[in-house]
């Protein structure tokens, strides 16, 4: 099991399919800052709010030269419907094999109503233009989260 990634660690490389039929990799974002947010499931209330919040601030992130990418284990068809339903202009990647979720240490044992199961722990990584992790938000609470990530991206210069 990989150790928890922290600021200063190199961001693990990835290449995953996107809902537009292409694929995106960490290398695609070289020279730019990247918000990589991992979320459990499309169309659930908290995940929907998180995506809407990031989408609402997309222009401000672009001014800060920062791209936003969401990753979940949902299939591409689910991502496509999710984006259309909520008019999201975000890149969403599908990690059905969970290799990237595991590389970033966000595929974890969770407990709900006394039942243990494996799932995505909502986590956001801010990656700098050199591909190093600048900041990590673990067990994200949604209220004010996108704004906090934007402030960190702006402060990163």
Q: Does residue 9 carry a pLDDT above 60?
A: yes
CATH number at residue 103: 3.40.30.10
Give the active site residue among 16, 26, 35, 47. Answer: 47
Secondary-structure breakdown of the chain: helix, strand, coil percentages, each rounded to the nearest 5:
30, 30, 40
Domain that holds residue 139: 39-155
Residue for token pair 């702006």: 154
Q: Is residue 69 part of a domain?
A: yes
Q: Is residue 25 part of a domain?
A: no
What angle separates helix 45-56 from helix 145-155, to the nearest 10 degrees?
A: 40
Active site (annotated) includes residue 1: no
Residue 1: pLDDT band with limits 50, 70, 90: very low
Q: Is residue 16 part of a domain?
A: no
Q: Is residue 18 part of a domain?
A: no
What is the domain count for the chain?
1
**What would the pLDDT profile of 58-87 be if each residue is shown by its tens digit?**
999 999 999 999 999 999 999 999 999 999
What average pLDDT does this structure show over 77-101? 95
User: Where is pLDDT greater, at 143 or 112?
Assistant: 143
**Under a CB-based contact definition with an 8 Å cutoff, are residues 94 and 17 in contact?**
yes
Give, as one character, the DSSP assignment of residue 141: -
Q: Is residue 14 part of a domain?
A: no
Q: Is residue 13 part of a domain?
A: no
**What would the pLDDT profile of 14-43 be if each residue is shown by its tens digit?**
999 998 889 999 999 999 999 999 999 999
């Amino acid at each position: 099991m990989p150790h928890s990634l922290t600021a200063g660690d190199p961001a693990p490389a990835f290449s995953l399919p996107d809902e537009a039929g292409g694929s995106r990799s960490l290398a695609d974002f070289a020279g730019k800052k990247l918000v990589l947010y991992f979320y459990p499931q499309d169309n659930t209330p908290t995940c929907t709010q998180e995506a809407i919040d990031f989408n609402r601030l997309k222009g401000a992130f672009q001014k800060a030269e920062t791209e936003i990418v969401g990753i979940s284990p949902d299939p591409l068809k689910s991502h496509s419907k999710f984006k259309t339903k909520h008019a999201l202009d975000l890149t969403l990647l599908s990690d059905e094999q969970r290799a990237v979720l595991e590389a970033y240490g966000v595929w974890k044992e969770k407990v709900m109503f006394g039942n243990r199961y494996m799932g995505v722990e909502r986590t956001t990584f801010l990656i700098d233009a050199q591909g190093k992790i600048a900041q990590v938000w673990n067990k994200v609470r949604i209220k004010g989260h996108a704004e906090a990530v934007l402030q960190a991206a702006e402060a990163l210069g």
